Amino acid sequence: MAKKVLILPSWYPNTLNAHGSFFREQAALLNRNGYDVKVLMVQELHTKNFYFQRLKSRQKGVRFALSHDFLLQEPDAYSYPVIIQKSWSTERKLQAIDKAYLKAFKILISSQNWFPEIIHLQGMYQLGLSSYLIAETYQLPLVVIEHSPFKINNYRPEYQERIRNIFKTAKKVAGVSYFHKTCLSKVDATSAVEVVWNFMDEARFTYVPSLKLEDKFIITTILRVSAVKDPVTFFDAVSKFVQVCKGNRSIEVHVVGLSCIEDLTSLREVDEHFVAKYNGISKLLRFHPWLDREDIRALHQRSSVFVSTSIDEPYGVAVREAMLCGTPVVSTKSGGPEDTIGKENGLLVPIGDSGGVALALQALYDHTVAFKGEDLRVSVITQSGHRAFLARMEAFYKN
């Protein structure tokens, strides 16, 4: 009989956004391979006035009930609405979410005639902070895989208390890299934190050698307006590379997640002088404010190199997706990427070292350093492809 697993994600793809698509992919993979998986997540409805929002919701016919309509399906994914008044204290907001989760769980097990054998929490902050209450109330084993960059002192005291409660209740806790494991171990030194690498879908991200163009050098990165992604180092590195680059191959630089360099002006390090500095490479830049996963795959497949300049990267999904597509990676030593990238299959440079990134790009451009696309792909599959992930999860779920 299939093991019944209830996944509680802190974010999940839904009708409003696609954030958390890898949670859904992992859940679907488990559901197709010997597990009976269901997903449960509350849907927060933020408002300035609780009672007005409640009345408004009723007038619109919003049912405060378990729903299949908000979260994307396969496996079965249920949401339950909870109204959160913005002026409430942190503790009151948490109590509202607690109440909603306990009620939603009760409805789920009764309406579906289904009771989980294990609760799997995907990400503690912030919807996952109620998970230990369900586990304690129904005497269910709780396992946790954290995904966010994790420094507990960055959270409010109320959240810190909840996080520590989760550690005390959980049967197992895991990070998504050895670097991440070290960060999580600082929360509770008495807990043995494990490592569970994220599932990387080798069937979706494929290597097609014919798409790599010999006469064009395509640099790709995925950024956002965040200091942790260190976009300043990326643009500085590209500028330095272009200044010294000599060769017949034309250069294209694809930046996913930004519409223009001016997007970065809210960062402390960016001003009009920073923007003006990169006018010299503006003709090479191609900005993509948003791409779906199919478009990202297509970009990886024809790219010559993927660059990650992150300061803190718990895992590095984009890095590994590029490698699955046979694309070499230049990455900073930001944590997660180091579990997969070594001298034999990529180039690692210190955080913030734009000169080092530029030299790595030059080495790939000149072919003084080269990697076989199929070898890059195999290194990721061996660590976290279909079979590797399923084997790791079987061990993680065992008592």
CA pair distance 251, 37, nearest whole angstrom: 46
Domains and CATH numbers, the chain: 3-196 (3.40.50.2000), 209-383 (3.40.50.2000)
Contact between 218 and 252 (Cβ < 8 Å): yes
Q: To 10 degrees, what angle do helices 373-384 and 386-397 make?
A: 20
| Inter-CA distances, 363 with 247, 290, 342, Å | 12, 30, 16
Here the tokens at position 244 are 């010294």
Three-state DSSP class for 247? coil
Count how many residues are written for the chain.
399
Question: What DSSP string runs through 22-66?
Answer: HHHHHHHHHHTTTEEEEEEEEEEEEES-HHHHHHHHHHTT---S-
pLDDT for the residue numbered 269:
79
23 forms beta bridges with none
pLDDT for the residue numbered 151:
84
pLDDT for the residue numbered 53:
60
The DSSP symbol for 363 reads: H
pLDDT for the residue numbered 286:
96
pLDDT for the residue numbered 65:
85
pLDDT for the residue numbered 56:
62
Contact between 229 and 309 (Cβ < 8 Å): yes
CA pair distance 136, 110, nearest whole angstrom: 18
pLDDT for the residue numbered 268:
83
Question: Helix %, strand %, coil % for the chain, to 5?
Answer: 45, 20, 35
pLDDT for the residue numbered 143:
96
User: How many CB atoms sit inside 10 A of residue 23's CB?
Assistant: 24
**pLDDT exceeding 70 applies to what percent of the chain?**
95
pLDDT for the residue numbered 342:
92
CA pair distance 318, 231, nearest whole angstrom: 15
Laid out side by side, the sheet with 118-122 consists of 76-85, 35-47, 3-9, 118-122, 142-145, 172-175, 193-195
Contact between 28 and 74 (Cβ < 8 Å): yes
CA pair distance 104, 337, nearest whole angstrom: 37
pLDDT for the residue numbered 272:
75
pLDDT for the residue numbered 204:
94
Which residues neighbour 275 within 8 Å (Cβ) at sequence distance 6 or greater?
261, 262, 265
Contact between 50 and 31 (Cβ < 8 Å): no
pLDDT for the residue numbered 18:
84
- Show the low-confidence residues of the chain (pLDDT under 70): 1-2, 48-64
